[in-house]
Structure 1
């Protein structure tokens, strides 16, 4: 391995904010990032304007070479990567599969910054799935990549608690910063010639974090209140939990479990006044909706919504399909 006087030639691959924090950590600590790989620019938002991702923006700001291949299965793309002569490839939320031919190019292989405590929550949406499942903690795993889906040997872990108030947005931001810390620990060790002991994953303990789809956001009021609230937290900021009111989608941004019971059917509004907007859920439990968004409106606190559209949200009104 390299000596302290010989910096590793690092190729970084990533696309969103989560990855940008890891790239920023490498750059701020003087590591030699020789090139950045990121997803091709794509149209986003209602205007479908083509925009660069956060990793690309950071790379351009730091005047780093940027590569945006459609696939790394293309032999030409693989040859281009090999010409960079990387010692190490760091991958964080890149979004493209790395075939074995790519994994074999860097002298020290490829390592991945993953947003869970592997082998729990392998896959695309580990942050959201951890909240949905009611996990008390999650974290970052730095993994030596292999050809499987998040199945490689683990090099280092840092844990992160999940509070009862965390949304996917708040947990994502903490994990993104933690990912940079964990990555630096591993890269510094490799650069200093330290020998890391890879820990194989116990696949019998693995769980799969399937990619989110928009349809998941529809609230199932027959679930207990704690599960309804977890879904609202997990789907903030995307796809955003929603329920139906007179056939139209009402987005639910924040909510709490209320320590009381009700005999009302699931989905029925049981209170709508200055003291709260409360909805019956499964097992006679109750959800308090704190922030919601009516069709064509803005996300507002329940009191503001009731002041403006009280006729829509009356006790006895049933939300849902």
Structure 2
């Protein structure tokens, strides 16, 4: 894997000009970048993150993962669902650079050009591929075998700015959106820190994005709906691309919903009619347009997650059951 846009000297021991930074992000995917910047030579002046939200059955007010990390690091936290209401306050801080990782929303003037060096964004795709909110999920769902991360200058358009660095990553056959995003977030933190250092000492280079853009809109619950009339690779990709959010699910012939938590392509198993369920050689299988899909872990409606083979063996009239 290679990077582009960052000089070879980045990451080696050298004197780096200290920058005053703003950081904006909310989910766990943004935490490694915040930790990397806070642990480097620069000063994170404030962290902007979304307000706490009710979580779980008891609806406990819970801060974002970024807020938890910022508090641990002793950094000032500002709550906002978008940066626009904070424009006057952030402009007045006269920072050198703004860094965004998974915050969401566009930045508008005058805030866009307020930091001396502008704003940069870590995006989890090889731009211009998959501009938008769900690049990791959409790449897996499309059956891609390669993705990556990009650090680019923010502009008024959606993920359109010049690239400062880019690094490729393979998509494994068993990767879910969750596992792949975790890996990209960890590796991307080092890429962001390197770009900030390069901007500080004036060695960063920016290049226009090349190629035809594709787009990755936010997923809805219905994106997790699984049907079995496609080939097994396509079905598997949809399950993995919507795990853990919004979550993959299928409907039995009686309308009961079953969450599909973990699956694998079944090898050396005889073909089954699409949607047909069976247990063979200790494996819970469902038919697709070609080879069967193995269900490993499921969660039936109103029940706890369980091994799929135990669930299937407990179905009434299991031999006659099928997914729609």
TM-score (ref. length: structure 1): 0.91
**Residue of structure 1 in register with 2:232 after alignment:** 225
**Residue of structure 1 in register with 2:11 after alignment:** none
**Residue of structure 2 in register with 1:140 after alignment:** 149
Residue 213 (str. 1) matches residue 220 (str. 2): yes
Report matched runs for 1:225-304 at 5 Å: 225-245=232-252, 246-259=254-267, 264-269=272-277, 271-282=278-289, 284-304=290-310
- Aligned pair count reads 310
Shift of 1:276: 1.3
**Residue of structure 1 in register with 2:52 after alignment:** 41
- RMSD over aligned Cα atoms: 1.9
**Residue of structure 2 in register with 1:107 after alignment:** 116
Shift of 1:310: 4.1
Q: In structure 2, do the counterparts of structure 1 residues 5 and 134 end up closer, same or farther at CA, with 3 Å as the change threshold?
A: closer
Cα distance in structure 2, aligned partners of 1:140 and 1:66: 26
Find the partner of 2:89 among 77, 80, 102.
Answer: 80
Q: In structure 2, do the counterparts of structure 1 residues 244 and 107 end up closer, same or farther at CA, with 3 Å as the change threshold?
A: same
* Cα shift readout 1:128-181 (whole Å, capped 9, x = no counterpart): 111111111111100100011111111001211111011111101101101101
More off after superposition, 31-40 vs 123-132? 31-40
Cα distance in structure 1, aligned partners of 2:305 and 2:233: 22
* Cα shift readout 1:212-231 (whole Å, capped 9, x = no counterpart): 10111111211111111111
Residue 10 (str. 1) matches residue 21 (str. 2): yes
Query: SS at 1:60's partner residue?
Result: helix
Shift of 1:303: 3.0
Listed as ranges, the gaps of 5+ residues in structure 2 are 1-13
Shift of 1:5: 6.2
Cα distance in structure 2, aligned partners of 1:84 and 1:297: 51
Shift of 1:272: 1.6
Contact 1:273 1:306 in 2 (8 A): no
More off after superposition, 55-64 vs 258-267? 258-267
Report matched runs for 1:110-189 at 5 Å: 110-189=119-198
Contact 1:241 1:253 in 2 (8 A): yes
Listed as ranges, the gaps of 5+ residues in structure 1 are none
Cα distance in structure 2, aligned partners of 1:238 and 1:118: 23
Contact 2:16 2:41 in 1 (8 A): no
Shift of 1:70: 4.0
Query: SS at 1:216's partner residue?
Result: helix
Shift of 1:265: 3.4
Cα distance in structure 1, aligned partners of 2:118 and 2:147: 26
TM-score (ref. length: structure 2): 0.90
